[in-house]
A and B are shown apart, each in its own frame.
Chain A
């Protein structure tokens, strides 16, 4: 880079810092045409009555201004329990784990969300690192704009220390590029990565995604993970989970908004169906599907003007979510090559929620769990004093 290039970057940073206008400098790592092609391809799946054919995968549910606004509305809906409880109890849960985060951390946030949680994190980190760099990462530029504004509101971060990155972090190659970018920006200084709001549960290959994301963490880095959890797994509880999501009309409007935004279908929110199941010994799984209940075959036009048959009773999977078994969390974390540094749990404190549903916030670090030496026979005194 020449001297004049350096001056240009410096001038740009200065212009952003000194302006009252809400400029945001976004690094775009996505070719929107590729994303559109992928979305179109996902909607060309075979007919299925159970949401196993056509689908809208995780990031696309928030792609575009329509879905972004619908999601912001859904988050404010008291009937969307996971999100409401997650937001309400985050301050308390964060307060219990933040003491384990040291000095000088930067923050990389996967899926920025409404930005409320990131703001709490940034306030804490900035007290310990005034030169903190904040990189929110999301596939949707609209979500980035919405979340970043809230996250940095009154935190006192200078504009050029906020670098939103538009990138689909579900793609492994993208993560390799992101890793290089982050490491070049922060050097050897530690980074707190975060994946909050039960975002992990929205991905088909959630274990693989977590392993890929946590692989970014170096020994000095930490990873903050928030997931919805359940104490037990059973078909009855899967039905309770379905019931929990199906109560919120704003949530139904959000999940259908991607369809409204990207097809010419006339949306009927009552055609949204929820299918609950138990996923092995690890989670309750809820698939949200849109079913053709018109009694006849439909043709829907996709963004590239191609027309796709949407036969009677066929479905489009709109959203996938899970509630992880608390007992399975240690295994999930270990499989991702991480160990738990601290963790907190919060039950859903509302009478209409099923018993045992809640949110867990885990602070993870790379590496195996600390193995403590097994007490030997001559350790009797210590064991007698400290055993229950």
Chain B
């Protein structure tokens, strides 16, 4: 409530000052119009400057968010392409590296992405976030069951399930492809 009152007071004062400035300009004799003219233009610049600064700040925030997501996805790509997740890797017990999602979380929670312009991207990132959380949880379960089992065979069974054609993991790779493609496309394509 206080915020709305302060905003209304600020813009109200600027509008009244602008109106007085214009009136002053109109009623002043021709030789004395410089001061009201300068005064009115300074007020106009002040009003438009507020919006221009806001837009620039939003744009910068968005670019920073996109850059960090891009870097994070590239890191995740390296993880997925790495030895730990290779079908030909060793089938013994191991602790798997995890996928990270902090940049995506931060971008979604900070509101740096525009709900209108980036609607498609936001939807994709929500799906990616859910998939990452899910895959990390499944990796935890896998490690827990493999390490607590006395049988070496267990590790092989999980290795086979992880790399089977119907594995959840394949969907995660596809989703990562989609997310990287979406970020590499111009903004107008991300909306569709």
Contact = CB atoms under 8 A, between A and B. Distances in A.
Interface in A357-383: 370, 372-376, 378-379, 381-383
A92 B181 CA distance: 9
A373 B168 contact: no
Interface stretch (B95-103, B110-118, B152-160): B152-160
B142 interface: yes
A176 to B, nearest CB: 30
A385 interface: yes
Given A386-B138, A388-B167, A375 B81 contact: no
Interface size class of A (residues with CB under 8 A): 20 to 34
Given A382-B157, A385-B141, A372 B164 contact: yes
Nearest to A386: B161
A99 B80 CA distance: 11
A148 B80 CA distance: 34
B52 interface: no
A222 to B, nearest CB: 14
Contact of B162 (A347, A370, A373, A386): A386
Nearest to A376: B157
B3 interface: no
A92 B77 CA distance: 12
Given A375-B161, A379-B161, A386 B77 contact: no
A381 B166 CA distance: 15
B81 A382 contact: no
Interface residues of B, number: 33
A161 B39 CA distance: 72
Contacts of B163: 372
B25 interface: no
A385 B81 contact: no
Interface string A321-353: 000000000000000000000101111010000
A92 B81 contact: no
A100 B86 CA distance: 10
Contacts of A14: none
User: Counting chain A CB atoms within 10 Å of each CB, which of B171, B184, B185 scores highest?
Assistant: B184
Contact of A382 (B74, B161, B166): B161
B138 A373 contact: no
B171 A370 contact: no
Interface string B154-192: 101111111110111101000001001100111001000
A383 B161 contact: yes
Contact of A375 (B160, B168, B180, B186): B160
A46 interface: no
A387 interface: yes
Given A375-B160, A382-B160, A387-B161, A344 B177 contact: yes
B177 A386 contact: no
Contacts of A386: 138, 142, 158, 161-162, 164, 167-169
A385 B161 CA distance: 8
Interface in B11-69: none
B87 to A, nearest CB: 5
Contacts of B81: 96, 99-100, 342
B145 interface: yes
A99 B185 CA distance: 23
A385 B136 CA distance: 11
A379 B161 CA distance: 8
Given A96-B77, A385-B138, A345 B177 contact: yes
B78 interface: yes
A381 B162 CA distance: 12
Contacts of B78: 99
Interface in A169-197: none
B170 to A, nearest CB: 8
Contact of A349 (B156, B167, B171, B189): B189
B185 A349 contact: yes
Interface of B: 74, 77-78, 81-82, 87-88, 138, 141-142, 145, 154, 156-164, 166-169, 171, 177, 180-181, 184-186, 189
14 contacts: A344-B177, A349-B189, A370-B88, A372-B87, A372-B164, A373-B156, A381-B157, A382-B154, A382-B157, A383-B161, A385-B142, A386-B142, A386-B162, A388-B167
Per CB-CB distance, the 5 closest pairs between chain A and chain B, nearest first, are A382-B161, A386-B161, A379-B157, A382-B157, A382-B158
